[in-house]
Amino acid sequence: MKKISLITALAFLSLLPLLTIAQSQQAAVKITGEVATPLTINNEDLQKFNQTTVVRKDRDGKDHTYSGVPVADLLQKAGVTMGPELKGENLTKYLLVDASDGYQVTFALAELDKSYTDRVIILANQVDGKPLLPADGPFRIIVQDEKKPARCIKQVVSFKIAFAK
Amino acid sequence: MLIERYKLKLNRYTSLSKVGVLAFLFSLTIGLSAWTYYEDPIPTGSFQLVYPANFGNRINVPADNPTTKQGVYLGRLLFYETALSAGNKLSCSSCHRQEKAFTDGKALSEGVDHVLSTRNSMSLANLLWTRKFFWDGRAASLEEQAATPLSNPHEMGQSLTISAQKLSRIQSYPALFKLVYGDTLINGDRIVKAIAQFERTLISANSRYDQYLRNAYQPNELEQKGMALFNQFPQPEKGIRGANCAHCHGGAKTYMELFHNNGLDSIPKDEGIETLTGLPADRGRFKVPTLRNIALTAPYMHDGRFKTMEEVIDHYSDHIKQSASLSSFLQGESNEIGGTSLKLLPEEKKELIAFLNMLTDSTFISNPAFSNPRLRIASNK
């Protein structure tokens, strides 16, 4: 018995360096461009924001509950011109979302701002109470009520705010 | 009679001075024709990049390297210049041959030190729209990309500094660099900029698929069925069959700048983008390459493991390997309910091949503007 626990302990110890390597790289979302403060948001950071949920159908045709943070809140934190500042030339700004597979989609800032719309667009990190699958996450945009899922971009790695030129 | 006339003629031309005049005129004619050939004035001015409207204008030309006619002229010479390699045997064109849509037909390519490259030589076409270069997308411009194969010890194996020194000693180059950059300085930056300018002109837009998109070609039945499969994602529960290729290879350019794990291995030898990011989700993830001229660019995949288009289609149809980093669109994508790969029928595979053959642009691979300029001179001698 002792021998077995010793072997287990040794096996665990030998795995430790691997675990630390695995933890050294962590997925995160970078927020850059027309911002006051560039931010990098990881899973832990995301917990510090007010959480919200959006229910939408996935490809299986069933409703799923996604939880995360409204994109507008993340942009506000980075000092993007949201809320009262979203007027005039700031209405020509857009958010470009990049995924790790190279896929990109854009949203006009006004699409994200609750003074313009009740539709919520979140950066989700969980589906039905569980972390997103590696091929979908760890971060995914979920657009409430949008008919096509094409802007529910998976594996999000960056937000860039820019002026339309 | 004849002989007499001949003698008379001969007598007339025996005067030395007249022979001299003739010889002079003869050599002048030959000399001038050769001069006009070799010394064709090099075109100068802004280079008009011409392409169809459906390719879109999201092009990638760095502000500090605008495309000029003289820059493209120099870049083309450099693309075919063996002095840019250690040992003077390889040029960019050694692994990027025009007749193979600028690939080399090999799984991996041999460098100056006879060591094989780690990944398959990529096709060069429509790079004007590319923003991330290499199989792992690590270079953000053609300029940055070009520097790597030039100096990699297992490719052309020569530092840009030495390349610049060697070019400085070749008679025609200092004047050409002056024409392009304003002075005779030759350095690595200027070398890669000129090569990048030439590569941006490698536009392929005249395949039968392009012709079909501009209503100038009517696909046959096999091609039409193949095209439908190519564009359709499978929905077995509705009885809709598809191969969903367009999910990643869609649009007029058949290139969308995506990076995926396409299920080649459960545990990949080459970890792809994970090597750069350290993220397990990037394991085995590589660029989804253009399908333009795909029939000419065998073997396929980042390691050239598939010799034919049939093997590639068999992979997606029957051999997708599951792993945590397998791209989501390939998970459970099938023409059979509950299937884990496409499960195409033999005739559907033939239809897809017929469509893929529509993507061959024969005018691109025979365009004299992209060929080795020195060979052209040699064949005209």
Q: What is the CATH number of the domain that holds B292?
A: 1.10.760.10
B257 within domain boundaries: yes
Tell me, yes or no, if A103 comes closer than 8 A to chain B by beta carbon: yes
A12 within domain boundaries: no
The answer to whether A141 and A153 are in contact (CB under 8 A) is yes
Region for B105 from its dihedrals, namely left if φ exceeds 0, alpha if ψ lies in -120 to 50, beta otherwise: left
DSSP E strand stretches across A72-151: 93-99, 104-108, 121-127, 130-131, 140-143
Tell me, yes or no, if B282 comes closer than 8 A to chain A by beta carbon: yes
Q: State the residue range of the domain holding B73.
A: 53-203
B94 within domain boundaries: yes
Angle between helices B188-200 and B142-151 (to 10 degrees): 120
B17 or B72, greater pLDDT: B72
Q: What percent of chain B has pLDDT over 70?
A: 88
Q: Do B281 and A135 touch (CB under 8 A)?
A: yes
A127 within domain boundaries: yes
The size of the A-B interface in CB pairs under 8 A is 41
Which residue's structure tokens are 């008679």?
B171
Provide mean pLDDT across the span B112-137.
Answer: 97
Rounded to a whole number of angstroms, the CA Rg of chain B reads 26
Residues B140 and B72 in one domain: yes
Tell me, yes or no, if A135 comes closer than 8 A to chain B by beta carbon: yes
Q: What is the pLDDT of residue B378?
A: 55
Residue of A101, A104, A158 to mutate, interface with B, max B Cβ within 10 Å: A101
Tell me, yes or no, if B284 comes closer than 8 A to chain A by beta carbon: no
Question: Token pair of A25, please?
Answer: 């790289």
Domain boundary (B172, B203, B234) is at B203
Tell me, yes or no, if A125 comes closer than 8 A to chain B by beta carbon: no
Question: Token pair of B288, please?
Answer: 């989804």
Closest CA to B228 of B348, B340, B379, B315: B348
A4 within domain boundaries: no
A113 within domain boundaries: yes
Q: How far apart are CA A132 and CA A126, in angstroms?
A: 5
**Four-CA torsion B103, B105, B110, B111, nearest 10 degrees:** -10
Q: What is the pLDDT of residue B1?
A: 42
pLDDT in tens, B217-243: 999 999 999 999 999 999 999 999 999
Minimal C-alpha gap between A47 and chain B (Å): 21
Residue B190 has pLDDT above 60, yes or no: yes
Tell me, yes or no, if B324 comes closer than 8 A to chain A by beta carbon: yes
Give the predicted TM-score (pTM) of the model.
Answer: 0.85
Q: What is the pLDDT of residue B319?
A: 94
Question: Which burial class, exposed, middle or buried, applies to B270 when counting CB atoms under 10 A from its CB (0-12, 13-18, 19+)?
Answer: middle
Closest CA to B181 of B166, B164, B158: B164
Q: How far apart are CA B266 and CA B190, in angstroms?
A: 43
Q: What is the pLDDT of residue B11?
A: 46
Residues B296 and B233 in one domain: yes
A83 within domain boundaries: yes
- Residue B133: list chain A partners with CB under 8 A: none
Residue B13 has pLDDT above 50, yes or no: no
Provide mean pLDDT across the span B306-330.
Answer: 95
Q: Report chain B's mean pLDDT, rounded to a whole number.
A: 91
The answer to whether B270 and B119 are in contact (CB under 8 A) is yes
Q: Do A102 and B280 touch (CB under 8 A)?
A: no
B20 within domain boundaries: no
- Does an H or E element contain A164, and which? none
A15 within domain boundaries: no
Residue B80 has pLDDT above 80, yes or no: yes
Q: How many residues are there in chain B?
A: 381
Q: Which of B 111-170 lie inside 8 A of A, CB atoms?
A: 132, 137
Which residue's structure tokens are 């194996």?
B157
Residues B183 and B262 in one domain: no
Between strands A39-42 and A28-33, the pairing is antiparallel
Q: How far apart are CA B297 and CA A105, in angstroms?
A: 31
- Among the partner residues A24, A100, A103, nearest to B281 by beta-carbon distance: A100
Q: What is the pLDDT of residue B10?
A: 42
Q: How far apart are CA B86 and CA B105, in angstroms?
A: 23
Residues B254 and B194 in one domain: no
Residues B271 and B316 in one domain: yes
Alpha helix positions (H), chain B: 2-12, 16-38, 69-79, 92-95, 142-151, 160-168, 173-181, 188-200, 208-213, 221-231, 246-249, 274-277, 309-318, 346-357, 362-366, 373-380
Total structural domains within chain B = 2
Q: Consecutive 10-residue runs of chain A (165 residues): their mean pLDDT? A: 48 45 72 97 95 90 94 97 95 97 97 95 96 93 94 97 96
Q: Do B325 and A134 touch (CB under 8 A)?
A: yes
Q: What is the pLDDT of residue B25?
A: 57
Residues B166 and B249 in one domain: no
Provide mean pLDDT across the span B164-168.
Answer: 97
Residue of B nearest to A138 (CA): B281
B39 within domain boundaries: no
B227 within domain boundaries: yes
The answer to whether B271 and B244 are in contact (CB under 8 A) is no
What amino acid is encoded at B252 in this protein? A
Tell me, yes or no, if B328 comes closer than 8 A to chain A by beta carbon: yes
Residue B112 has pLDDT above 80, yes or no: yes
Residues B191 and B259 in one domain: no
Tell me, yes or no, if A100 comes closer than 8 A to chain B by beta carbon: yes
- Does an H or E element contain B286, and which? strand B286-287
Residues B256 and B145 in one domain: no
Domain boundary (B178, B203, B228) is at B203
The answer to whether B139 and B145 are in contact (CB under 8 A) is yes
Residues B196 and B238 in one domain: no
For residues A31-57, one letter each, b for 16 or more C-beta atoms within 10 angstroms of the residue's C-beta and e for the rest, the string is: bebbbeeebebebeebeebeeeebeee
- Cα–Cα distances (Å) from B116 to A54, B4, B95, in that order, read 51, 73, 12
Residues B175 and B229 in one domain: no
Total structural domains within chain A = 1
Q: What is the pLDDT of residue B225?
A: 98
Residue of A nearest to B257 (CA): A102
Residue of A nearest to B330 (CA): A135
Q: How far apart are CA B136 and CA A101, in angstroms?
A: 11
B368 within domain boundaries: no
A59 or B26, greater pLDDT: A59
Between strands A93-99 and A156-163, the pairing is antiparallel
Cβ atoms within 10 Å, residue A112: 25
Residue B102 has pLDDT above 80, yes or no: yes
Residues B351 and B266 in one domain: yes
The answer to whether B306 and B299 are in contact (CB under 8 A) is yes
- Residue A135: list chain B partners with CB under 8 A: 281, 324-328, 331
Q: Do B327 and A27 touch (CB under 8 A)?
A: no
Provide mean pLDDT across the span B160-179.
Answer: 96
Closest CA to B243 of B358, B355, B335, B340: B335
Q: State the residue range of the domain holding A92.
A: 27-163
Residue B213 has pLDDT above 50, yes or no: yes
A13 within domain boundaries: no
Residues B91 and B230 in one domain: no
Q: What is the pLDDT of residue B159?
A: 96
Minimal C-alpha gap between A127 and chain B (Å): 15
Closest CA to A41 of A120, A162, A153, A122: A122
Closest CA to A111 of A144, A78, A140, A84: A144
Tell me, yes or no, if A154 comes closer than 8 A to chain B by beta carbon: yes
Q: What is the pLDDT of residue B3?
A: 46
Residue of B nearest to A61 (CA): B237
B37 within domain boundaries: no
CATH code of the domain covering residue A121: 3.90.420.10
Q: What are phi and psi of B108, to 5 degrees?
A: -130, 155
Q: What is the pLDDT of residue A25?
A: 72
Q: Is the dihedral of CA B139, B144, B147, B149 positive or negative?
A: positive
Minimal C-alpha gap between A131 and chain B (Å): 14
**A156: which residues sit within 8 A by CB, 6+ positions away?**
A29, A97, A98, A99, A123, A139, A140, A141
- Residue A154: list chain B partners with CB under 8 A: 328
Question: Token pair of B23, please?
Answer: 């010889």
Question: Token pair of B85, please?
Answer: 């390699």
Q: What is the pLDDT of residue A58?
A: 83
Q: Which of A 16-45 lie inside 8 A of B, CB atoms?
A: 22, 24-25, 27
Highest averaged pLDDT of the listed ranges B7-11, B34-38, B40-44, B152-156: B152-156
Question: Token pair of B267, please?
Answer: 């545990």
Which value does ipTM take for this structure? 0.81
